[in-house]
Structure 1
C-alpha cells in the first residue's frame, strides 16, 4: 500500500512539472546576486535609499539575498524611460524607480506630474499613503512587478543660467532640459519655453556648454550635482510637480523567494523608503532651511514665489492639466484632488 502511494506521489510530481506548475519557492534556486536599478547614485537621497534597501535586505535575510545597485540606469544604457520595461522582462530584478520615468508605460503615473496638483508635502503623503497610492500599486501589480513602498525624489524646482524666473513670461524662449515625458514637454510648451528631452547623463554637459539654458529638479539633486558649477545661477522655488519613487521587485523574482524572505524584503523596502523620504525633505523647510542656505552660499540667487505669482504659472498651464487629466483618468484625478483637499 505504501509503495503504491509513493509511486503515485512521484507520478504526480512529474505530472505537475509537465503541466508547468511551479514548485514551492523554497525549492527554487536563489540567484547569487540580484540587480537593482536606480537613476542616481549614493550622493543623492534616491541612490542612498536604494543602497539602504540592499543593505537591509542582506541583513534581514542573513545574506540569502544579495543585491547590487546599478546607478545611472546603466542596465538600460542610461535610458531612464526603458527601465520599467526591462524590469518587467527580468533584465532588471529590482528597482527604486521614478513615477515620471515609468509614466510612458503606465499612464496613471502621470498623475504626479500634473502641473501644480500638489502644493506641499502633506499633499504628496495624502496621495501616496492613501487611496491613490493603493490604486497605483494595484495597477503596477498587474504589470509583472510587486510594488512595496513609496519613496520620494522631491518637488522639482526650476533653474537657469539667464535670469530670475518670476512670471511665465520669464520662461518664454528658454531652452529647457526636461525628462522623457510628453507631459513635461506639454507643460513647458504651454509656458512658451523650448523644451528638450534629455537623459540626466547628458544634461549636465549640455548645461555646461550652454546647449540648454536651464532644467528642473529637486533641491537635493540640484545641490548634490553641483549645478551652480554649470551655470545654473538662478533658482526659482515653484514646486510645480513632485516625483514619488517606488520600491519594486520583478514578480518572477518575488515568487522565487520563500515567504519569510518576501516579508523581509518588504519590511526592508518600507524602512529604507521612510528613511529616504526624510533625507529628501531635509533642509528645505521653513523650520530647517540648511540646504537652501548652502545653495545660496554657492552664489545661486533663489526666488521664492508669492502665492499670486505661483498661481500665474498654474493658470498658464491649466489647459495642459485639463487635457492630461482626461488621459490619466478623470475618476483617479478627482479622487486625488479630493484627498489633497482633505489633507
Structure 2
C-alpha cells in the first residue's frame, strides 16, 4: 500500500490509496544539527525549539535533533557548509564554528572585545547583529534567532594562569578557527586545533595541557576529571549561538510556517540565554567544590592580556570588516 502522511485529519483507506479528508497542510520533518547534546544548554535549546514547533504546528512540523555533530561525522566546522549545501535542513550553530565560512562571525572571537553580557546583547540586538544576519543570509542560510554558549574561560593542568607569561609554551586545545591560533600564539601558548570529540581524550593523555570553553561545558563534561585543576575566569570572548535554516528549505515553506519557526526559535533562544546566565554562579560553585583552583583576573591583570593580544586586532579587523567592528563598538559604548 502506498502511504501518505496527513496531520490533524480523519483518514479513509480505499484500495492502494490513502485519502485525507479536511486536508489543511502536509506534515514535514526536518533535521537539526547541534554540536552538543541536551546534557548541555546548547542541546537543550534545540530540544526546546523542536518542542515549541511541534506544539504550535499541532504536529504538522517535526524537528529531529541530531546532536554531537553526527551529521558531519564529528567535524563541527563543516556544519555551516553542510547546511548551505542542503545536507542539513537546520542547525543551532556556534559563531566560532561557522566563522570559516562567514568571516563576519569572527567579531565575537576578537579577544576581550565584549566585556560583559550587556555588551553581547548590545551587539546581537543592535545594528551590528543585523549586519551579521545579512552576511549569513547572503551565503545561502537564513538566520532566525540568537542563543548563547557563554563567555569562554581557560583551564589547564599545569598551574594558575594570572598573566600572559603563565601561558608560555602551554599546549592549549582550540577550535578550528585561525583567529584562535593567532590569539593564543600572541599569548605565548602553543595552540593545538582539534574537534571537541577529540579534546577530552587529548586532555586525558596529556597531549594538550589545557582548553577554553564556557563554564557549562567545563561543568557538564567534568573537565576537572581529566587533570584540568586550574581555571582562569577571563571572559576573553563570548560565543553566541544562531538558529538557522537552509535557504531552499526556508523558501519551500508557506509564510505562516516561516513565522511559526522564527518565533519558536526566538522564544527558545531567549529561554536558553536566560537559563545559561542564571546557572553561571551555581556552576562555578560546583566546580570549586570539586577542588578546582580558580583565578579571577583583577583589572590590572585583565589589561595585561588585552595589551598582549592587540596584534590580533591589527590582522583580523580588516578581514571581519572595519564598518562592522566599529558599529559593534558603538553599540557597546552606547549600551
Fold equivalence (TM over 0.5): yes
Pair 157,291 (structure 1): closer, same or farther in 2 beyond 3 Å: same
Does structure 1 retain, via aligned residues, the 8 Å contact 2:25–2:60?
A: no
- Which consecutive residues of structure 2, in runs of 5 or more, have no partner in the other structure? 1-22
Give 2:332's aligned residue: 340
Matches of residues 13-162 of structure 1 in structure 2 within 5 Å? 31=28, 33-162=29-158
Does structure 2 retain, via aligned residues, the 8 Å contact 1:30–1:257?
A: no
Does structure 1 retain, via aligned residues, the 8 Å contact 2:32–2:65?
A: yes
Equivalent residue pairs, number? 313
Matches of residues 2-21 of structure 1 in structure 2 within 5 Å? none
Q: Of 285, 300, 307, which aligns to 2:292? A: 300
3-state secondary structure, aligned to 2:182: helix
| Structure with the higher strand share, 1 or 2 | 2
d(CA) in 2 for partners of 1:233, 1:278: 28
RMSD: 1.4
d(CA) in 2 for partners of 1:74, 1:250: 18
How far residue 322 of structure 1 moved from its aligned partner, in angstroms, is 2.1
Which shows bigger deviation, 256-265 or 66-75? 256-265
How far residue 97 of structure 1 moved from its aligned partner, in angstroms, is 0.4
Which digits, 9 at most, give the CA deviation of each residue in 1:106-148, with x for residues without a partner?
1110000001100000000000000011111111111111111
How far residue 36 of structure 1 moved from its aligned partner, in angstroms, is 0.2
Does structure 1 retain, via aligned residues, the 8 Å contact 2:174–2:211?
A: yes
How far residue 27 of structure 1 moved from its aligned partner, in angstroms, is 11
Does structure 2 retain, via aligned residues, the 8 Å contact 1:29–1:256?
A: no
Does structure 2 retain, via aligned residues, the 8 Å contact 1:28–1:256?
A: no
Give 1:186's aligned residue: 182
How far residue 283 of structure 1 moved from its aligned partner, in angstroms, is 3.1
d(CA) in 2 for partners of 1:326, 1:276: 32
d(CA) in 1 for partners of 2:302, 2:225: 27
Which digits, 9 at most, give the CA deviation of each residue in 1:260-318, with x for residues without a partner?
1111111110000001101221233xxxx222111100110111100110110010001
TM-score norm. by structure 2 comes to: 0.91
Q: Of 191, 201, 204, which aligns to 1:205? A: 201
d(CA) in 2 for partners of 1:118, 1:271: 24
Does structure 1 retain, via aligned residues, the 8 Å contact 2:153–2:212?
A: yes
How far residue 252 of structure 1 moved from its aligned partner, in angstroms, is 1.1
d(CA) in 2 for partners of 1:198, 1:29: 42
Question: Which stretches of structure 1, 4 residues or longer, exceed 3 Å deviation after superposition?
Answer: 26-31
TM-score norm. by structure 1 comes to: 0.89
